[in-house]
Amino acid sequence: MATRSYDVGRVDTQEYDVAGGGWITFAAIMLGLVGTFNVLEGILAIANSRVYTANQTFVFSDLNTWGWIVLFLGVFQLIAAFSLFGGSEMARWFGVFVAGVNAIGQLYYVPAFPIWSLLMFSVDVLIIYGLVAYAGHRLRES
C-alpha cells in the first residue's frame, strides 16, 4: 500500500478590508431591501391595486406588463444581494447592473410618486457607490 504525503505547511487566508467590506455589506443589504420593495410593487401592479390605478396615466405600458417587469427586476436584485454575500467579483458587477437598471426605472415613477422614486433613486446611487468605490479593496492577503 502506497502512502501519500500532503503539503499542509502553507495556508492561504484572506480577510476583509474593513472599509470595503462594510460598504459592500451595506450595498448587499440595501439591494435586498430594494429588491423586496420591487417584488411587492410588482405584485401590486399585477393585481391592479388601487396604489397604481389612481396614477395609471403615468405608467409606461399597461399595468400588467409594468408589474411583471418590476417583479422580475426585484427577483434579480434579490439574487444579486444574496450573491454579494458570497464575495464574488461577478456578483458586484451584477449588483451594479441591476441597481443601475432600477435607478433608470425609478425615473419613470417620478411623475406619479415623486418622493418615493427619488428616495429609491438615491438608495440605488448609494448601492452603486458601495459596490464600485471599493472594487479592488474587498479582500486582502494576510
What is the residue-level pLDDT of the chain in tens, covering all 142 positions? 566 655 555 544 454 455 467 888 899 999 999 999 999 989 988 887 666 655 555 556 677 888 899 999 999 999 999 999 888 889 999 999 999 999 998 888 888 788 989 999 999 999 999 999 876 554 454 4
Give dist(CA 125, CA 95) in Å, integer. Answer: 12
* pTM for this prediction: 0.76
Bridge partners of 34, per DSSP, are none
User: How many CB atoms lie under 10 A from the CB of residue 27?
Assistant: 27
Bridge partners of 15, per DSSP, are 140
